[in-house]
């Protein structure tokens, strides 16, 4: 790498990743301003008619935001000291979601509702400037492999349970007419409880009880992982002698 390219790369890193410098703070304020504007257009888009002139201008603004976020994401990948680590990091995923969500600004993909839903996650880009969120980001980086394994096992368990409840119930309970309904039941049972689609067979009820008990651990394990990672990443300072004497 030539000296000039190294200088350019160093300047970009300072602007994109170091908020202690004046250039970094300027980039921080500019990025936050663009995020706020994109959220304003998102809110306004829900209040205008689909074929109106205002809607057309909002779609154009959405395209501009998409291009801006895409360029920013590309520059951050280029300037990151460890590129793959940035891509897998919390902020890397948030930046990627902002780019993917903007694909709906292309007219031919305007009906992609799942992608349009991702636009609301742009608000997470504001988290880059919060020290509290920075601590959670560091904790996520510390346990992301464990979380990936845990989520993979949870997905496998949910699919097995979905097929099981379908096998037990589909002949006697119309609420489980297909495997998708079984997947919905399994995910709901692991988290909030599947109200309104209770099983009627003995095997289905046993499976439902097992899923509820397992669901308690599903909620507790990620919380425990994050708490442990936070304590390792940001340990509490040792108590001073004065504090020990008064306690």
Q: What is the average pLDDT across 38-50?
A: 79
Angle, vertex CA 10, rays to CA 7 and CA 31, nearest 5 = 130
How far apart are alpha carbons 126 and 128 in whole angstroms? Answer: 5
pLDDT of residue 7: 65
Q: Of 9 and 163, which is predicted with more confidence?
A: 163
Look at residue 3 in the predicted model and tell me its pLDDT. 60
Report pLDDT digits (tens) over 111-163. Answer: 555 666 666 767 777 666 666 666 777 777 778 888 888 888 888 888 888 88
Residue that wins the pLDDT comparison between 42 and 202: 202
- Looking at the chain, the domain(s) classified CATH 1.10.287.70 span 136-236
Indicate the CATH number for domain 136-236: 1.10.287.70
Q: What percentage of the chain has pLDDT greater than the value 90?
A: 0
Q: Please name which of 163, 216, 220, 167 lies closest in space to residue 189, comparing C-alpha atoms.
A: 216
Q: Is 156 left (phi over 0), alpha (psi -120 to 50) or beta?
A: alpha
Residue 212 pLDDT > 70? yes
Please, what is the angle between helix 53-79 and helix 90-101, to 10°? 150
**Proportion of the chain above pLDDT 70, given as a percent:** 72
The mean pLDDT of 188-193, rounded to a whole number, is: 71
Residue 247 is predicted with a pLDDT of 45
Greater confidence, 193 or 43? 43
pLDDT band at 5 (very low <50, low <70, confident <90, very high): low
Residue 79 pLDDT? 82
CB burial of residue 208 (10 Å; 0-12, 13-18, 19+): buried
Q: Where in the chain is the domain with CATH 1.20.120?
A: 3-127
May I ask the CATH architecture of the domain 3-127?
Up-down Bundle (1.20)
* pTM for this model (two decimals): 0.52
46-81, pLDDT tens digit by residue? 787 767 888 788 888 888 888 888 888 888 888 887
Q: How far apart are CA 194 and CA 210, in angstroms?
A: 13
Q: Please choose, from the candidates 91, 44, 37, 45, the residue with its C-alpha nearest in 3D space to the C-alpha of residue 64.
A: 37
Whole-number average pLDDT of the chain: 76
Please provide the distance, in angstroms rounded to a whole number, between the alpha carbons at the two ends of the chain: 59
Mean pLDDT on 160-167: 88
In this predicted structure, which of 18-32, 40-54, 108-122, 174-188 has the lowest mean pLDDT? Answer: 108-122
Are residues 203 and 168 in contact, defined by beta-carbon separation less than 8 angstroms? yes
Whether 30 shows a pLDDT value over 70: the answer reads yes
């Amino acid at each position: 790498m030539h000296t000039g390219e190294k200088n350019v790369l160093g300047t970009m890193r300072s602007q994109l990743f170091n908020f202690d410098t004046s250039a970094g703070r300027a980039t921080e304020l500019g990025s936050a301003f663009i995020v706020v504007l994109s959220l304003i257009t998102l809110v306004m888009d829900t209040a205008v008619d689909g074929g109106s002139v205002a809607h057309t201008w909002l779609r154009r603004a959405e395209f501009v935001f998409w291009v801006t976020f895409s360029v920013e994401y590309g520059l951050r990948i280029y300037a990151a000291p460890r590129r793959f680590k940035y891509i897998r990091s919390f902020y890397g995923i948030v930046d990627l979601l902002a780019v993917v969500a903007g694909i709906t600004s292309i007219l031919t993909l305007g009906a992609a509702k799942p992608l349009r839903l991702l636009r609301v996650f742009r608000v997470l880009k504001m988290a880059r400037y919060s020290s509290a969120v920075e601590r959670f980001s560091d904790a996520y980086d510390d346990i992301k492999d464990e979380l990936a394994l845990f989520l993979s096992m949870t997905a496998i368990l949910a699919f097995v349970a979905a097929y099981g409840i379908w096998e037990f119930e589909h002949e006697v309970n119309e609420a489980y007419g297909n495997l998708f309904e079984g997947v919905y039941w399994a995910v709901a049972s692991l988290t909030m409880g599947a109200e309104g689609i209770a099983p009627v067979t003995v095997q289905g009820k046993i499976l439902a009880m097992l899923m509820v008990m397992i669901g308690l651990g599903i909620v507790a394990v990620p919380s425990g992982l994050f708490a442990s990672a936070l304590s390792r990443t940001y340990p509490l300072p040792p108590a001073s002698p004065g504090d020990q004497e008064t306690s």
